[in-house]
Each structure stands twice: as C-alpha cells, then as structure tokens.
Amino acid sequence: MDEKKLLINMSQKHMLQKILDCTQYTEKFGIKLSEKDAHLLLESRKSSLKEQERIEFGEGILPKLIYTFCDSPYIYQGNYVETIGSLQEIFYLYKNECLDELTDEELLTYMKEHFDGDCQGSLEFLEETCLEELAREIRGGSLLGDDDE
C-alpha cells in the first residue's frame, strides 16, 4: 500500500471512530449509528464536499453535527441517518452560500434553532427558506453590517 492510500485510510479510520464515539452520548436520546451507517455518512460527506468544492481537515463536521442535532424532537432512529446525511449536505452548501462568513458553530446553531423551531423538522423549509434568507442577508451585507456596528 503506498503512503498516500495509507494516509487516507488512517484518516478515515480516525473519522469513523469519532462518529461511533458519539453513540455513547446519542443513546440517551434513543438514537445510534451502526458501523455501516457511519460508513454511509462518510461516503455522503465525501460526495458533498466534492460537489461543494470544499476541503475538510481533521475529524470533520459530522461529530459536531450529531452532537448538535441528536436531542432534536424531530429526529428518531427511523430517520436519523438520512436526516444527518441531509443536514451534512445542507451545511456544506450554506458554508459556501454564506461566503464562509459564519463559523461552524454559528451555522450549526442557526440550523438547529430553525430546524427545531419554525421548520418543525422540515429539511426543505430549513434549506430553501430559513438558510436561503440568511445567505441573502449575508450576501447583501446587512448581517455583516450589523456586526460592524
């Protein structure tokens, strides 16, 4: 195995472990991921990053995403993997759409607040209405202007 492949495998194993480590915490909310689910999410991460033309380092956003959303009343074992996968996609998309002006923490907090609030668990509403509005404000400079003041 060449050095490059070895490096990728090591990094993937590390990420997989980090995701599985979340289970201990999420079990409190009645949801958990199998190793197969974690693999699926990592695959979806890869394609989302490619599609959004982004590069991710370290353990990535998935563990943070899981910790943030696991206590949502709209997530249960039946839709857990699918919802986390979609949230991950939406997250990368809006990192770009918000021109990287928001930190991971800020974007995750906004997403969670609206997902549990006015979206009532609707991913479409979150993406197409709430986040779109936020991105528009950032691009228009009104949010950034507020910060400056």
Instruction: List contacts with other proteins (CB under 8 A).
Output: 3-4, 7, 49, 53-61, 64, 92, 95-96, 100, 103-105
Per the CB < 8 A criterion, the answer to whether 75 and 58 are in contact is no
Closer residue to other proteins, CB minimum distance, 121 or 143: 143
60: which 2 tokens? 């990535």
Closer residue to other proteins, CB minimum distance, 45 or 119: 45
Q: How far is CA 75 from CA 29, 30, 78, 149, in A?
A: 9, 10, 8, 38
Q: Which of 39, 106, 24, 108 is nearest to 69 (CA)?
A: 108
Closer residue to other proteins, CB minimum distance, 94 or 119: 94
Q: How far is the CB of 69 from other proteins (least distance, A)?
A: 16
52: which 2 tokens? 């959004």
Per the CB < 8 A criterion, the answer to whether 34 and 78 are in contact is no
Could you give the CA distance from residue 65 to residue 33 in angstroms, rounded to a whole number?
A: 13
Q: How far is the CB of 107 from other proteins (least distance, A)?
A: 9
Closer residue to other proteins, CB minimum distance, 57 or 149: 57
Q: How far is the CB of 124 from other proteins (least distance, A)?
A: 24
Q: How far is the CB of 11 from other proteins (least distance, A)?
A: 9
Closer residue to other proteins, CB minimum distance, 29 or 42: 42
Q: How far is the CB of 102 from other proteins (least distance, A)?
A: 9
Q: How far is CA 46 from CA 55, 57, 61, 66, 144, in A?
A: 9, 12, 12, 17, 30
